[in-house]
Chains A and B, each alone.
Chain A
């Protein structure tokens, strides 16, 4: 995996015996011990590892929850409450799983932003980036179906609204919606297939993660300078350097996770989901989980018809487009320089993009009325403009700052000037986000 030059030497007879037959220990050694990583990685680069442990945590808590959960509209809500009240440490499992989903998304958003900031999607990492986008899509589907399982009011109405989007698609829309629902409305067949798929998709995610890491180990990691590794002095071995740094990043992340689980476990949820689903009573405001809110805002921002496309279809296209556009980022960015550190204008637009995405999220939680609609339209415009206008144009017209010749040079330069005010100082901003 690490490109041929394996340094693994089995120490024992058994080790040599296994290595000659199925060199799994060699693979692990080459991928996670001797694997060379750039020496200048900051904490924004620990989120890949954090995402891996979150996936494992979701699968472990999920499998145990599934042992107590009943996927039946008459039983689901109560079975979740039984977990909360009567199963030993059931409250812990369930809060770990529901908050874990949120933390998973926080981590993936930071991970994606890291990629956009340091230009991680640029050649030769296009496939790596696309595999990441696929993981993100699968996560969205998994989270959505998981949220339906406790069968609360938001579960039910969220599922009704989101599956309803598909009816906007011409010709096949209704057919797709009915296929998803297993009927004409959200009901027992819906709950059953969502449970089956919610159990399945995380393992598909795990499969794509393997491909993602494989692709990563072929091309290597980027780094804050965006300059490829050129010599041995540019890198350090994964263990102990990256291992210990990742471990520290993970513990800080787990502390934030634990804070939510133990002190404000319902902060990220919606009170209405503690009311059992009722198909006759529509909640005042139907809102999805927080991690979909920016896309929900984009969906509702399209309130006008565009030629033959009516506003409903337009909204659905904009929403899916907002995710689809990520897949094309490697070809939308025309800049020759990879990292935002050396691109002053891109850096500005990048942070505006982040602020705008958060603002879109807030708008998604507001009712779609009055001035919120206009604001969502402006924000939606900037969201797309960032990818479709700013990325291609800026790459051509922007004058980047002088690039160092190598990672080693950048590091030595930075250490010489010491602390703040060094040329690569901009890397400090995402760093503090770890």
Chain B
């Protein structure tokens, strides 16, 4: 039996050693890294994080403005209907006016012809390109991804043990943290010796490589804010990331509010059941 114990200890040590080696191996050369993103995104503070998080409507409105004036030139948002923008604090009339800024294709009419008309609240954001191929052709071969779910479709790997703590801290903002980091991450120079493919732009926060086909989309004072918020790349990135989180998870507030009620009920009910259980079992040794 002693032998078994020694065997186990050796097994444990070998495993630990190998693990160390695995982690050491992940340290890659600076010029030609093999794991991405090169830098992990920083964890920002968001109004919508945590069990009582809510969207900051003013921020979502600013984010929408950034999307409309900058990103929408390239990125579609197929799944988001104008009517849902009332969540951002706009009135029905404002949403109607906002939708009417866009033209959508409709038809066929009685003569069998397609026609364009002003969008109504029931329409979705029209896409900037007629199809995937056109989008790719206009952007150096890489089609800009649709924005409807981007905030849930990207998240830099958290690694062990952070991913365990994330359960308890309720970290669910990997998407907006990533987008914010990506948009503000263009200013770094690539390390000496790194080759950047033509038509792509170095960004150490990009999840899938060292550079991407999107050039730095934002610069200071590019979008005019009328609520006095700072007109900086950092603020724009923050606002558009929050807006994209809303676009991906429009019912988040309802979810967390329902969650509070459900948890409170389960805790109370659980406590009562527990006391009953104690009563029932009090006369039986077990």
- Interfacial residues of chain B within 164-199, with CB under 8 A of chain A in the complex: 166-167, 170-172, 174-175
Chain B residues closer than 8 Å to A411, beta-carbon distance: 285-286
- Interfacial residues of chain A within 71-97, with CB under 8 A of chain B in the complex: 78, 81, 84-85, 91-92, 95
Chain A, residues 372-405, CB within 8 Å of chain B (1/0): the string is 1011001000100000000000000000000000
CB pair B51 A263 closer than 8 Å: yes
- Interfacial residues of chain B within 258-275, with CB under 8 A of chain A in the complex: 258-260, 262-263, 266-267, 269-270, 273-274
Q: Which of B14, B148, B175, B273 contacts A271 (CB 8 A)?
A: B175
CB pair B277 A267 closer than 8 Å: no
18 residue pairs bridging A and B, Cβ less than 8 Å apart: A236-B284, A241-B281, A244-B273, A244-B277, A244-B281, A245-B277, A248-B273, A248-B274, A248-B277, A251-B270, A251-B273, A255-B270, A264-B166, A265-B172, A271-B174, A359-B15, A371-B22, A411-B285
Q: A263-B170, A264-B170, A371-B22 are in contact. Are A378 and B11 (CB under 8 A)?
A: yes
Name the distance in Å between A46's Cβ and chain B's nearest Cβ: 11
CB pair A275 B153 closer than 8 Å: yes
Instruction: Answer whether residue B110 sits at the interface, using C-beta atoms and an 8 A cutoff.
Output: no
CB pair A259 B263 closer than 8 Å: yes
Chain A residues closer than 8 Å to B166, beta-carbon distance: 264, 267
Name the distance in Å between A54's Cβ and chain B's nearest Cβ: 15
Docked complex Cα distance between A266 and B175 (Å):
11
CB pair B270 A241 closer than 8 Å: no
Known: A92-B258, A251-B270, A265-B255. 9 other contacts (CB 8 A): A92-B255, A241-B280, A244-B273, A247-B277, A263-B51, A266-B152, A275-B145, A359-B15, A362-B160
Chain B residues closer than 8 Å to A247, beta-carbon distance: 273, 277
Query: Hey, which bits of chain B sit against chain A, CB under 8 A?
Result: 1, 4, 8, 11, 14-15, 18-19, 21-22, 25, 51, 79, 84, 145, 148-149, 152-155, 160, 166-167, 170-172, 174-175, 208, 248, 250-251, 254-256, 258-260, 262-263, 266-267, 269-270, 273-274, 276-277, 280-281, 284-286
CB pair B8 A251 closer than 8 Å: no
Q: Which of B153, B170, B269, B286 contacts A251 (CB 8 A)?
A: B269
Name the distance in Å between B47's Cβ and chain A's nearest Cβ: 16
CB pair B172 A263 closer than 8 Å: yes
Give the number of A-B contacts (CB < 8 Å).
122
Chain A, residues 228-261, CB within 8 Å of chain B (1/0): the string is 0000000010001100110110011011001101
Name the distance in Å between B5's Cβ and chain A's nearest Cβ: 9
CB pair A258 B22 closer than 8 Å: no
CB pair B266 A255 closer than 8 Å: yes
Docked complex Cα distance between A376 and B154 (Å):
28
Docked complex Cα distance between A266 and B15 (Å):
31
